[in-house]
Amino acid sequence: MTSLLKQYMDGAWVDSLGGEVHQVLNPATELPVTQIVLGTARDVDVAVAAARRAFGDYSRTSLGARIALLESVIQQYQMRIPDLVRAVSEEVGAPIGFCGVAQVPAGLGQFMATLAALRDFPFEESVGNGRVVHEPIGVVAMITPWNWPLNQICAKLAPALAAGNTVVLKPSEEAPSCAMILAEILHDAGVPPGVFNLVNGRGTEVGAALAEHADVDMVSFTGSTRAGIAVAVAAARTVKRVHQELGGKAPNLVLPGADLPTALAQTVPGIFANSGQSCIAPTRLLVHRAQADVAITVTKAIAEQVQVGDPAVMGPHIGPVINATQFDKIQDLIKAAIDEGARVVSGGLGRPEGFTSGFYVRPTVLAGVTPAMRIWQEEIFGPVATVTLYDDLDEAVTLANDTMFGLSAVVSGDPVLAAATAHRLRAGLVTINSWATPMGLPFGGYGQSGNGREGGRFGLADFMEVKTIAGAPA
């Protein structure tokens, strides 16, 4: 078991002020793999103070200096890829091959996309008889999840640093090791002391302390809508900027007459990738009633090709979900759907055959799902697809939009009709004949999926203030 018992503050690894040791379990073995110290509100005070002291100098660094810093971070990140792959696989349960081609490169991609945006960003422009200037916000608190830990950290960290802000990060206590390796990367890349700080801990203590801290100017949170509401309430007391990417319940609207074997092969795998633990997983398949039988047959075949296996072994399989709580939630939603009248097409309750331990979930397809069922509205965050039928495109759009979430949506079928339909969908991201998030484009949601955007120049702008200067000489 790896021991990582320090917090990173003001450019050094230091002991927590009163924190307690916490063991991180490997979800494949249910055995401890890492131990960390869960920090305290006192640790938050120290980290925020360091970030506040560093802000004055760092916020005034030149564009060239920040470009060079991001280039150095990218170089150091590339050198640590094997360490990051191992850390994510052991703590998240993602297969080591998937970590090498998706999980870890996603974080690197965020830095590269931000660097490209930084080179061309209009920090100052003329508008009428005034000047509009983009400036750093100040101290940014970041609270990030476990499902795509490096992607979610770097989607915030890269633009925050590029904009000239200083940072205090609270990574998920379920997957802390990759964040601590990232701290080493930043240190070795030459990030000045106090510009980046890391405090491990629970959301209820460290996260809450960051959200309500008077010296934090912005809090950027990714996680559940329930937790996002708590962060927003705590942050409101000091009227700081709140930037959130929350839950999702993405529809996959399959257009009438679509070539189902082709269309579904491009999107249904996104339901099962990362063991279904992706906020943009297109779990709600909406299919024209005339194509119901073919759609169910094709979706079943795709699901049954998904192998479940040990994340430490290379191969085209999925691993377990993150913990017992998540496993039980998925089982509860599957059982509720069955009790409410859904039909199990593939998979179902319990662990896959051959697994007696580990938080492994059977790749599952449920047909006959209706909007009256719990599984229609609640985010599953597991490898579970649901199939719902519609009679015409207007009804399909209504069903697609029948959710409190609005993070992403998928439209499958004729690209021209899909492009027209995309404008009718209430989601921050709509992909056509694909489910993946394009790097460098704005990412964020409508409704209870949050506010603000990450990615490229749009994400960079969200980590800056806008100042108007009127009456200055040309």
Cα separation, 118 vs 122, whole angstroms: 9
Q: Who's near 361: CB < 8 A, 6+ residues apart?
A: 275, 276, 308, 320, 321, 327, 330, 331, 351, 352, 382, 383, 384
By C-alpha distance, which of 147, 135, 51 is closest to 103? 147
Q: Which of 99, 154, 178, 279 is catalytic?
A: 279
Amino acid identity of 472? A
Q: Which residue has the tokens 């909007």?
A: 371
178 included as an active-site residue: no
CA distance 201 to 193: 21
How many other CB atoms are there within 10 angstroms of residue 325's CB atom?
11
131: left (phi over 0), alpha (psi -120 to 50) or beta: beta
Cα dihedral 217/196/103/87 (nearest 10): -130
Q: What is the largest CA-CA distance in the chain?
A: 75
Unique residue bearing structure tokens 């996959």: 252
Contact 418, 411 (CB under 8 A): yes
Q: Find the DSSP H helices in 321-390.
A: 324-339, 374-377
Locate all alpha helices (DSSP H) within 80-176, ordered by sequence.
81-92, 96-98, 104-120, 149-163
Q: Which of 90, 174, 212, 245 is catalytic?
A: 245
What is the identity of the amino acid at 389?
A: L
279 is catalytic: yes
> CB within 8 A of 110, min separation 6: which ones?
151, 154, 155, 157, 158, 439, 455
Active site residues: 245, 279
